[in-house]
Structure formats: C-alpha cells, structure tokens
Amino acid sequence: MTVVSCPTCGKKVEWTEANKFRPFCSDRCKQIDLGAWAEEKYTIPGAPPGDADEDAVSKE
C-alpha cells in the first residue's frame, strides 16, 4: 500500500480507492488547497504573456 503526505497539513494518507480525498487527508484540506489556487497563491513558472498583436507580427 502506498502512503503519501497530505499536501496541505502533512498528515500521512493511504493512497487507496477508499480515500475519496486523495492525495488530501480530508475535504477540509482539499478545500484549503482549492482556495489557495483561487487566491493565486500558487503559480506555474513561465514567460509573461506578450501583447497579442506583437505575437501575430513576429510569426509572419
């Protein structure tokens, strides 16, 4: 059986089909994580978006 740490609180969680909140330990931890995404506390690195008109000109 695989055991992982809850991304929110760090509690050890069994990775099984019986755990409907996996990888989280509970619905509360799942909702906390969702709220963090909604508040843009997490980011995915990448280049900043450019102006759409500049992108169209540079591709021609």
Q: What CA–CA distance (Å, rounded) separates 53 from 3?
A: 49
Alpha carbon 51 to its chain centroid, in Å, reads 27
> Residues annotated as binding site?
6, 9, 25, 29
DSSP-assigned letters across all residues of 7-48: TTT--EEE-STT-TTTTSSSHHHHHHHHHHHHTT-S----PP
Q: What is the pLDDT of residue 6?
A: 95
pLDDT at 58 over 60: no
The overall average pLDDT reported for the chain is 86
Q: What CA–CA distance (Å, rounded) separates 26 from 35?
A: 14
CATH 3.30.50.10 matches 1-43? yes
Structure confidence by residue, pLDDT tens digits, 18-44: 999 999 999 999 999 999 999 989 888
For residue 39, give the amino acid letter: E
> Residues annotated as binding site for Zn(2+)?
6, 9, 25, 29
Q: What is the pLDDT of residue 46?
A: 85
Q: What is the pLDDT of residue 36?
A: 94
